[in-house]
Structure 1
Amino acid sequence: MRGAAAVALAAALTATMLAGAAPSLASPGDGTAEEFVAGTTSTSSADPDVPPGKTESSKIKHLSNQPKNGALRDTGSDLAFQGKYAFAGNYAGFTVYDLSDPENPEQVVQVRCPGGQNDISVYENILILSTDASRSDDSCKSKALPETKKAAWEGIKVWDISNPRKPKYVQSVETDCGSHTHSLAPSKNKRDLYVYVSSYFPAKAFPDCQPPHDKISIVKVPLSSPESARVVSTPNLFPGGGYKGDPNGEGWATSGCHDITTYAKYDLAAGACMGDGILMDISDRERPRVIDRVRDTENFAFWHSATFNDDATKVVFTDELGGGGLATCTDEYAPELGANGIYDIKRKPYGEKDLVFKSYYKIPRINTENENCVAHNGSLIPVPGKDIMVQSWYQGGVSVFDFTDSRNPRELAWFDRGEGVSNGGTWSTYYYNGYAYSNDLDIGFDTFEIADSIDGKAEKVRLPSLNPQMQESFGR
C-alpha cells in the first residue's frame, strides 16, 4: 500500500481498535495506558527478520534491564537526564535511576502520581510532569474523572529535585486540554523557565478543551520561586486554521500540537502538530512566531515529534501513523509510511528560514503483523561533524541512523526484540554520556552500548543534562 490510500486504511484500522477494548498506545488517546491489541493491524507475506521470541542486534550491545516493579507497573513513557541520574516517566508516576554504574543503573526512588502520560523534563532543580488525563484534582491521589466535567483537572506539575532522591511536589498549573507533552525554554537571563505545553483533540463537550484548539499554553516558572508558576500566554499558532484533514481519513486534522522541540541557542523551535510541521522563532519566549509550515498529505498521517541536528540546519520529523498501535513495519507498508521525514532548514535573505523536504527514513527490517512499529522518540548521538540519531520504533526496536547526507539517510546499528518479548516495545531511546538508554512500555529501563566505530568520538562528550525536547549544542 502507498501514499494516501495506506493512510486512509491505517486510520480506519485505528478507528476499529479504538472502538474495541483498547485505544492506541501513545497518541491519539485520552492518556490512559492500555495494552496493545495484537493481530488487528495488517497482514504480511514476508517472514520477519527477527523471529518471534528472539532478540537480535547489530553493533548494539544490550547491557542491562531494570524491570518495572512496585507501584509503577503501568506503561513506561519518556526520559530525561541530569548529572548521574535518569528520570523515567510512567503513566502512574516516575522513577529515578542512579547511573553511577551506567552499565547497570540502580533504581533509587519511585514517585507514584497517576496522570498519563507523565511526559517528563528536568532543568536545574526543577522537574516538570505532564498530565493529559482528566483527574478529580491536581494531587497525586487524584482519581479519573470524565473530560465532560468542569471540575476535571489536567495540566503540568512542578517538582523540586534539589535532592533527586527525594522529589518534592511544589505546584500545579492547569492548562487548556491538559498537557500531552511539554518542552522547556530557559529565559535569556536564566532566571525563568518557560514550559511550552502541547495538547490536542478538543470537543464541544469538554468544558476545558473547546475547539478550535489552534494554540499552545506557555507556563512561566521562576527558578527562584517555582511555586509561582503560571500560564503567561496562549499563542495561536494557526490563526487561519491548520490542516483540515480529509473526509476519507487521509491524515489527522490539526487541532493543536503533539510535540514541540526547542533550541534556545538558535531561538528556534520545531512543532509536530498533527497535520502540520512548523518552524518557530522563539526569540521572544512568551510570543513564539511561526516562520514556516509544511505538510505531507501523501505520506504523513500524524506529525508526532521533531529533532534538530546540532547546528540547527535540519529537522527530523516523525510520523506516528496509527498512533503507535499499527504494525507498519511489514512488507504491506511502503518505506515512506510511519517513517521519519528529513528536512533541511534553508536560510534565506533577511534572516528568513524555510523547511525543505529531502528524504524519508524507516527501519529496513520486516516485523510480524502483530508487532506495533512506527517512528517514535529519539535523540542525537554527539559525534562532531556528523548527524547521527538513535531512535525508538516501539516493537520495531532501536535504530541508529546517519542523516549527514539529508537525501540518503542510512542505518548504522539496531536492536530488535521479536514478537512476544515486549508487549508494546520501546517508547524512548536517548544517548547520554556514552550510553543509550531506553524506556520500554512493558519491560522497563534498558541500557545499551553502541559500537565504538559509530560513537567513539561521542563518548568523549560529557553533558551535564539531557532533555531531548530542549536541545542544547554538544559544545554547550
Structure 2
Amino acid sequence: MKKRTKQLISSVLAGTLVLSAGTSIYAHDAFEGGSKGEGLVFDHDAIEQLDAPVEDGDKNVKHLHEAASIQLAEKDGVQNNTADVYAHQGFAYVGTHTANGANGGVRIFDLQDPQNPEEIGVIADDIPYTWQEKVIVKRVNTPHFNGDLAVVSLQQTSRNNANRPDSRGGMLLYDVSDPYNPERLGFYELDREITGTHELYLTRQGNKAIALLSNPYADYYTDGEQGDFQIIDVTDPANPEKMWEWDPRELEEVTEDFNGYHWDAPDGHTRPVFNHSVITDNNGHYAYVSMWDLGTVIFDIRNPENPEFLGRTEYADDQKGAAHSAALARGGNILIETREVANPHGEGYEDAYGYTRIFDISDKTDPQLLSEFTTELTFDFIGSTFANTVHDPKVHGNTLYLSYYSGGVLAVDITDPADPKEIGRYTPDQGNVWGVFVDRNYVLASDMGQGLKVLQKNNGNNNRGNGNRKTEF
C-alpha cells in the first residue's frame, strides 16, 4: 500500500483550476466549467402552457405515458428546481437543486393515487446555503433503530464562505417511518473546506446499516487528508461514525504525487478524477464507485472497515471517462455505466456527448466491455451543453431506464447486454430530466424545471400503485 503524501499543486494548474470560496459546485465536473443548476424553472402557470410530451414505446413499454405531472410547491415564496428522485413504500422523495437560492430541501409526495401525487412535506431544509440532491430510503433494523431511514446528501452553495458560517456539507439522517411526520436523527458533518456530499447510498449488512458517501474533490480540497469516498456506520443514525475512506494513490497507476484531481494516466492524458456517485448490490457486498476518468471502481465491502479493491472500468485512449453513475443487472453480473460528457470535443478525444457503456462483471477484478449505447443526441453537436448527454441509469428486469436531460427518459432493452436497443422514450416539452426511478408499473422522473413526472407503463386505470402501502418501489 502506498503512503499518503501531501502535494502542492503547481502554480500553472492552480491558476487554471482553483475555485474561490464563493464558487458553487453543480455536481458534474465543476472544474471543467458550466452550470446546470440555474436553468429555466417553470412556475405553475407556465407549466400549463407547455405542449403535450412526446411518448413512444414498444414491447413492455409500448403503453408508457404520463399519468401525472406536478411542480414542486413554492417554499417561502421561492420556486425551487428538482434534483434526483427516489421512492419507498408508496412515497416519492424528490431532491432539489440550486435555482433561486437553493435550500429547497427534499420534498415528500404521497403516491397512494399515482395519477394525483400530493406533496405532503419537506425535510433537510434547515441548514442555510445548501442544496439537497440525493436521498435514499430503506427499511433498517439495528440495535439502535427499527424503521424507514432516509439519508440525504447536503452540499454548500459556496464552500467555506466566511460570510456563511452556518453552512455545512455532509449527510443528514431522518426517520421517515411515518412520512407525514418525519424526524431528524443525525448529521454527519464534513469539513467546511469540502463542498459536501453529492451522492450517497444506504445499505444493510445483518443488523448493521452503512452509508457510502461521494464527496467530490474532498481529496483535492484537503490536500489528501480526506477521501472522496467514505463509508459511514449509521447503525445508530443519531451518531454516524466514519469507518473507512479511500486513497486512490493505493493503485499502482496513480502516483503518490497525485493532487486529488489531475491524474497522469498511462495513456498520456491528464485526466480528471473525483468521486461523483456510489451504489451497492442488494446484499451490500460490493460497492461501485463512479470516479470519473478513473472509471467505475469496484470494492468488496463485506468488511466495511477494511474493504478490498477488486477492479475498475477503463477507457480507450480517445475516450473521455466521466464515469457519472452506475446500475446493476443480472444479479450483479452486469454493470451499466453512464458518462456525463457535456463538452463533446477535446484535443485527442472522440467527438461525442456522454453515452452509456455496459460491462460483464461476473469477474469483478476484470470488467469486460460488452457494448456502448448511443443515441442521435450523442452526435448532435450544439456546443458545450448538458442537454445531449446521458445522466442516470436504473434497471428493472431486462429494461434499462436512462434519464437524458432534454431527451427525457429512454427505455432500453438489455435482454442481450451486448446489443442494447431503445424501445421507448418519454420527452416532455422543453424537458430537462435529471433523475429516474422505477416502480413495478410506474416510472418516476424528476424534471429540473417542471417537477415530478409519474409515468405509467401499462394501459389500465385500475392500478392505484401503492395504496396498500405494502408495495415497495
Shorter chain as normaliser: what TM range?
A: 0.7 to 0.9
Q: Which structure 2 residues correspond to residues 32-431 of structure 1 after superposition, within 5 A?
A: 34-36=37-39, 55-59=53-57, 60-71=64-75, 73-91=79-97, 92-111=104-123, 112-113=125-126, 115-124=130-139, 125-133=148-156, 145-146=160-161, 153-175=168-190, 177=194, 178-187=196-205, 189=206, 191-202=207-218, 206=221, 209-211=222-224, 215-222=228-235, 225-240=236-251, 242=254, 244=263, 252-254=271-273, 256-265=274-283, 267-276=285-294, 277-296=296-315, 297-322=317-342, 337-347=353-363, 353-364=365-376, 369=382, 372-382=387-397, 387-418=398-429, 421-422=430-431, 425-431=432-438
Q: Which structure 2 residues correspond to residues 435-474 of structure 1 after superposition, within 5 A?
A: 435-450=442-457, 464-466=471-473
Q: Give per-residue Cα distances to partners, 1:314-336, cap 9 Å, x unaligned.
A: 101111113xxx589xxxx856x
CA contact under 8 A between 2:81 and 2:450: conserved in structure 1? no
- Offset at residue 215 of structure 1 (A): 4.6
Do the aligned partners of residues 24 and 395 (structure 1) sit closer, same or farther apart at CA in structure 2, a change above 3 Å counting? farther
Q: Give per-residue Cα distances to partners, 1:143-192, cap 9 Å, x unaligned.
A: x75289998632111111121112222211123532111111212x2x22
Q: Give per-residue Cα distances to partners, 1:389-424, cap 9 Å, x unaligned.
A: 111011121100012222211101001235xx24xx
- Offset at residue 378 of structure 1 (A): 2.7
**Residue aligned with 2:332, SS:** coil
Q: Give per-residue Cα distances to partners, 1:241-275, cap 9 Å, x unaligned.
A: 64715799967422x31111101427222111011
**Residue aligned with 2:331, SS:** coil
Q: Letter of the aligned partner of 1:167 in structure 2?
A: P
1:339 & 1:212 partners in 2: Cα distance? 33
Q: Letter of the aligned partner of 2:446 in structure 1?
A: N
1:452 & 1:146 partners in 2: Cα distance? 52
Do the aligned partners of residues 213 and 446 (structure 1) sit closer, same or farther apart at CA in structure 2, a change above 3 Å counting? same
**Residue aligned with 2:185, SS:** strand
Higher alpha-carbon deviation: 26-35 or 274-283: 26-35
Q: Residue 141 of structure 1 corresponds to which residue in structure 2?
A: none
Q: Letter of the aligned partner of 1:218 in structure 2?
A: I
2:165 & 2:74 partners in 1: Cα distance? 33
Aligned identity (percent) is 17
CA contact under 8 A between 2:204 and 2:284: conserved in structure 1? no
1:247 & 1:107 partners in 2: Cα distance? 50
1:147 & 1:203 partners in 2: Cα distance? 21
1:168 & 1:32 partners in 2: Cα distance? 33
CA contact under 8 A between 1:32 and 1:133: conserved in structure 2? no
Higher alpha-carbon deviation: 428-437 or 361-370: 361-370
1:374 & 1:147 partners in 2: Cα distance? 36
1:160 & 1:380 partners in 2: Cα distance? 27
Q: Letter of the aligned partner of 2:30 in structure 1?
A: G
- Offset at residue 79 of structure 1 (A): 1.7
1:451 & 1:301 partners in 2: Cα distance? 37
2:107 & 2:189 partners in 1: Cα distance? 23
1:327 & 1:175 partners in 2: Cα distance? 34
1:104 & 1:94 partners in 2: Cα distance? 19
Do the aligned partners of residues 236 and 32 (structure 1) sit closer, same or farther apart at CA in structure 2, a change above 3 Å counting? same
2:91 & 2:446 partners in 1: Cα distance? 14
Q: Letter of the aligned partner of 2:322 in structure 1?
A: F
**Residue aligned with 1:346, SS:** coil
- Offset at residue 279 of structure 1 (A): 1.6
Do the aligned partners of residues 312 and 373 (structure 1) sit closer, same or farther apart at CA in structure 2, a change above 3 Å counting? same
What 5-or-longer segments of structure 1 have no aligned partner?
A: 1-14, 38-51, 136-143, 467-476
1:157 & 1:198 partners in 2: Cα distance? 14
Do the aligned partners of residues 247 and 321 (structure 1) sit closer, same or farther apart at CA in structure 2, a change above 3 Å counting? farther
Do the aligned partners of residues 156 and 266 (structure 1) sit closer, same or farther apart at CA in structure 2, a change above 3 Å counting? closer
Do the aligned partners of residues 247 and 313 (structure 1) sit closer, same or farther apart at CA in structure 2, a change above 3 Å counting? closer
What 5-or-longer segments of structure 2 have no aligned partner?
A: 1-15, 41-49, 58-63, 98-103, 140-147, 255-261
- Offset at residue 448 of structure 1 (A): 0.8
**Residue aligned with 1:311, SS:** helix
Do the aligned partners of residues 94 and 32 (structure 1) sit closer, same or farther apart at CA in structure 2, a change above 3 Å counting? farther
Q: Name the TM-score, length of structure 2 as normaliser.
A: 0.73
Q: Letter of the aligned partner of 1:340 in structure 2?
A: T
CA contact under 8 A between 1:75 and 1:442: conserved in structure 2? yes
- Offset at residue 380 of structure 1 (A): 1.1
Q: Give per-residue Cα distances to partners, 1:427-449, cap 9 Å, x unaligned.
A: 11111121000011111000112
- Offset at residue 93 of structure 1 (A): 0.4
Q: Letter of the aligned partner of 1:377 in structure 2?
A: D
Tell me the number of residue pairs that the alignment of Structure 1 and Structure 2 aligns: 396
- Offset at residue 118 of structure 1 (A): 3.0
- Offset at residue 53 of structure 1 (A): 6.5
